[in-house]
Amino acid sequence: MRALVVIPLLASSTVAAADDAPPKPAGPALGACTKELDARKVSYRRVQREGVANAVEVLGPLGGIAMTSPDMALVIDCSLAVSLDEAGRYLRGLGFDKATFSSAYSVRNVRGTNRPSKHSFGLAIDVHTFGGPDLGTLTIDRDYEQGLGNEVDCLGKPLTQGGAALKVLQCQLVRSGLFHLVLSPDYDDAHHDHFHLEAAPWGQRTQLRSAQPAIH
Ligand SMILES: [Zn+2]
């Protein structure tokens, strides 16, 4: 029982000593994000983009997935790069090894509003296709089966193999907690042909996965 009294006293003296130290940011320091990318052996280079806290150009695969676009480099905030790298395990598990995106960093408003889209901060990416050696190329527009599942059973009953793979992937991405927001064709017409994957800013992340990921 004695230890129960002593431990709080020690703890409070430790806190007092720490007051002399420089204040620590609430979340992980921004430099810690690129350290995380380094630890994950992601190939990237730092770049500067207005509005992006920690912009990187990704030069190789993320989580084993080649993410390409026909007309642009993959420039995103480091926080999104970490989430995509970690999410690679779900894609690989389903047999995917590549994906294509149409938009990553892009200064614009959320459609129909004057609110800046998270694309403006490099925190969102629109992914249109997922491909792999056995599955071929699946497009969200053609292969995603809308309206499946519910809050209890995310998956529902997809009719096609491609539809099942994309629905399993969407459920895994939503429930992984790696993304602040995952929007699919089920959300609205503007998303009929892509998954919008959005990460929280690194400075707001206290852990890699949020305990309660947003489901939309
Ligand atoms: Zn988007």
Cα-to-centroid distance, 95 and ligand 1 (Å): 24
Q: State the pLDDT at residue 151.
A: 82
Cα-to-centroid distance, 28 and ligand 1 (Å): 25
Fold of 28-204: Muramoyl-pentapeptide Carboxypeptidase; domain 2 (3.30.1380)
CA dihedral sign of residues 43, 58, 191, 216:
positive
Ligand 1 ion: nearby residues, β-carbon < 5 Å: 124, 126, 196
Cα-to-centroid distance, 150 and ligand 1 (Å): 23
Q: State the pLDDT at residue 20.
A: 52
What are the sequence ranges of the domains in the chain?
28-204
Task: Indicate the pLDDT class of residue 208, thresholds 50, 70 and 90.
Answer: confident
Cα-to-centroid distance, 90 and ligand 1 (Å): 20
Give 54-93 pLDDT, tens digit per residue: 999 999 999 999 999 999 999 999 999 999 999 999 999 9
Average pLDDT of span 123-138: 97
The answer to whether 55 and 47 have CB atoms below 8 angstroms apart is yes
Q: State the pLDDT at residue 216.
A: 56
The dihedrals phi and psi of 207, each to the nearest 5 degrees, come to -150, 165
Report CA 55 to chain centroid distance, whole Å. Answer: 15
Q: What distance in Å separates the CA atoms of residue 208 and residue 47, rounded to the nearest whole number?
A: 23
